[in-house]
Amino acid sequence: MRNRLLRRRGLGGTILACCLLTVVLAMQAGIARAAAAERPELGAHVLVFSPSMPAAAMQRQIDRVYAEQEHSEFGSGRYALLFLPGEYHVDVPVGFYTQVLGLGATPDAVHIVGNVHADASLPHNNATCTFWRAAEGFSVTPTGGTMQWAVSQAVPFRRMHVRGNLVLHQNGGWASGGWMADTLVDGNVGAGPQQQWIARNSEWGSWTGANWNMVFVGVPHPPEGEWPAPPYTKVDKTPAVREKPFLQVDAQGNWSVRVPALRRNSAGITWRGGSTPGRSIPLSRFYIARPDVDTAATMNAQLARGMNLLLTPGIYELTEAIRVTRADAMVLGLGFATLRPTRGTAAMTTADGNGIEIAGLLFDAGPVTSPVLLEVGPQGSKAGHTKDPISLHDVFFRVGGAGVGRAEVNLRIQSRDTIVDHTWIWRADHGSGVGWTSNTSVNGLVVNGDDVTIYGLFVEHHQQFQVVWNGNGGRTYFYQSEIPYDPPDQASYTSAPGINGWASYKVADGVTGHEAWGLGIYSVFLKPHVVLSRAIETPRGPGIRFHHMITVALGSLGGISNVIDDEGGPTSMEPRVTPKVAEFP
C-alpha cells in the first residue's frame, strides 16, 4: 500500500509520506519511553517481564530465582515475578517465597503457554512442606494439558485461568493444602491425596478426589456427593467478601492497584464479564517501601500523610509497630514481604476504621516476645463496618523455623465486621529455634470483635488454644489445625482439672451466636501418654452451630478423645479411626 502511494504521489508525496512515517515512529517511541518512564522502582527482587523480551532471557532469570528458592524453606530470599499483559512461552517453577503475578485487568490479559508449577519439596513426591508461594492473575495453557500445583499451606491461587486440567499433588504424593479463589479451570481439578482444601468463588469443568475435609463456598458446580462420604462441605453462596487487591498495568503503561468491590451472596468468579468490578488507585498514591531502606518510622510517616503502602519483597526488621490509622488505608505486600519485630512490639496495628485492607504479608515473630503480631482495631473497638468491612487477604504468621521466635498471640481481631480471606497461623514444628521452651506462642488467633467472618483458617501447633473466639456472630468457612507436636508431658498440657490439653477451636462460654463449616483437627504427639480431651469446645445454644467435623491421629502416640465437647469419640491407630460429627448440636 505504501509503495502504491509513493508511485502515485511522486517525489513530493514521497517526502510527505516519509515525514508522516517519521512522526508515527516518533510517537510510538515516545509512548514506549513514557510507559518505561512510568514503571515504578520496585527493587532487584521484583522481576518485570514484557512480551517483547526474548524468551531465553526471561527463562534464565526465572531459573536463577528458582535455583535460589527451590529448597530455601527458611531462607531470606523473597521474589515477585511480574508479567505485563501479553503472551509468553516459558516454564515457571515456583519456589519458596515466590509470587508469580499477572498485571492485566483480567487473568486472560496475561497468557503463559508452557508450565507454571509447584513441585513437592520433600522426597517421594511429598508436598506437605510446600509452603509460601503464589500464582495470581494470569492464564496458563499447560504443556501436556495439565498444570501441577502440589502444595500445602500459605499458597494463594487466585484469579487464575487454567486452560486445561489442574492437579493438586505430585504423582500421588501427600499434600496438605490448600486455597483457591476467583479461579476458572476449563478441565478437571484432580485433588488426589490432598488432605484438605477450600475453593471459594471458583469454577471448573469437573472435580475429582477427596480425602478428609474439602470445602466449597460460592462454587456454582461443586462435585457430587455429600458429607461424610465423600467429605464434601458445600455452601451455595459466599455471604460477604471482596477479592484481594492486585496490581495492574493498562495499555498506556499506567500502574494502579485494583480494589475489588464488596460482593454479597455471590457465586463464581468476578471477571467472567471482563475486569473485576471495583475501583483503581493510582500507584502514585502508594509509598513503595524497600527492606534495605525503610523502617517502621519511615512507613508510619507515609501512612500519616495519607499514603498507602506497597511493600517490596524482603524482610523488614521493625523496632516498633507499623500503625495503620486511616480508614480505607491499604498495605499490600509483594513476594511474601515479611515483617519481623525485634524489640517485643507488635509488627502492625490498625485503627477501628472502615475499609482498611491488609494483604500479602508474612508476620514472623522475633526473639523477644511480642504480645501480638497483628492487631486489628484497638481494645474496645465498637464501630460497625458492615457496608465497608475491614479485610485481610493472604496474611500469614510464623513463630520459629527461621530462628527463635516468640509471641503471645499472633492475630488478634478487636474490630467487628472484619473479613479474613485466607490465613495460615503457624508455630513451627521444624526448622531452627524450635522447641517447647524456644518458639513459644500461646494462641494463634483471638477474635474479640462481633460479626467476624473467616474463609480458609489454618492454625497450627500453638501451645494453648489455637483459636479463641470471644465475639458474637462469628463465621468460619473451613478450618485446618494440627495441635502441638511437642508437649513434653501431660502435666505441661492440661488446661483445667480433668481436661487434657487445650481445645484447638474454643468458643468462649459467653458467646451466643457462632457458626462454622468444615473443620479438621489432627494430632501428632511426639511424647507418650499425651492426649487432648476435645478438639472443639463450645457452649450450646440456638445460635451456635457446627457442620462437618473430623479428627485424625497422624502419629502412633496419644490421640484426641472427642471431636466436639463430649461427642464424636476417640481417634485410634490400631485400627485407625477417624471420628466424624456431621452436625452439632
Radius of gyration from C-alpha coordinates of the chain:
25
* Residues 159, 237, 267, 220, CA torsion sign: positive
Q: Report phi then psi at 33, rounded to 5.
A: -65, -40
- Strand (E) or helix (H) holding 24: helix 2-38
Helices (H) and strands (E) in the chain, counts: 3, 49
Name the catalytic one among 375, 482, 537, 583: 482
How far is the C-alpha of 433 from the C-alpha of 521, rounded, in Å? Answer: 25
Q: Tally Cβ neighbours within 10 Å of residue 496.
A: 8
Q: Is 489 helix (H, G, I), strand (E, B) or coil?
A: coil
Q: Is 545 helix (H, G, I), strand (E, B) or coil?
A: strand
Q: What are the CA-CA distances from residue 267 to residues 40, 221, 306, 470, 517 (Å)?
A: 35, 10, 35, 30, 17
Residues in contact with 60: Cβ distance below 8 Å, sequence separation at least 6, in sequence order = none
How far is the C-alpha of 438 from the C-alpha of 400, rounded, in Å? Answer: 8
* Residues 209, 214, 220, 226, CA torsion sign: positive
How far is the C-alpha of 262 from the C-alpha of 224, rounded, in Å? Answer: 29
Which stretches of 242-323 are DSSP H helices?
A: 296-304
Q: Report phi then psi at 215, rounded to 5.
A: -120, 130
- Strand (E) or helix (H) holding 287: strand 286-289
Residue 66 near residue 93 (C-beta atoms within 8 A): yes
Going by DSSP bridges, is the β-strand pair 255-260/278-282 parallel, antiparallel, or unpaired?
antiparallel
Going by DSSP bridges, is the β-strand pair 98-102/133-136 parallel, antiparallel, or unpaired?
parallel
- Work out the burial of residue 55: count CB atoms within 10 Å of its CB; fewer than 13 is exposed, 13-18 middle, 19 or more buried: middle
How far is the C-alpha of 208 from the C-alpha of 216, rounded, in Å? Answer: 13
Residue 230: asked if its preceding bond is cis (omega within 30°), the reply is yes
Query: Closest Cα to residue 140, out of 105, 181, 178, 90?
Result: 90
Q: Tally Cβ neighbours within 10 Å of residue 29.
A: 10
Going by DSSP bridges, is the β-strand pair 330-341/357-364 parallel, antiparallel, or unpaired?
parallel
Grid coordinates of 55: 524468551
Residues in contact with 44: Cβ distance below 8 Å, sequence separation at least 6, in sequence order = none
Catalytic annotation present for 482? yes
Grid coordinates of 514: 457462632
Q: Report phi then psi at 144, rounded to 5.
A: 80, -5
Grid coordinates of 369: 516476645
Q: Is 41 helix (H, G, I), strand (E, B) or coil?
A: coil
The residues that are catalytic are 482
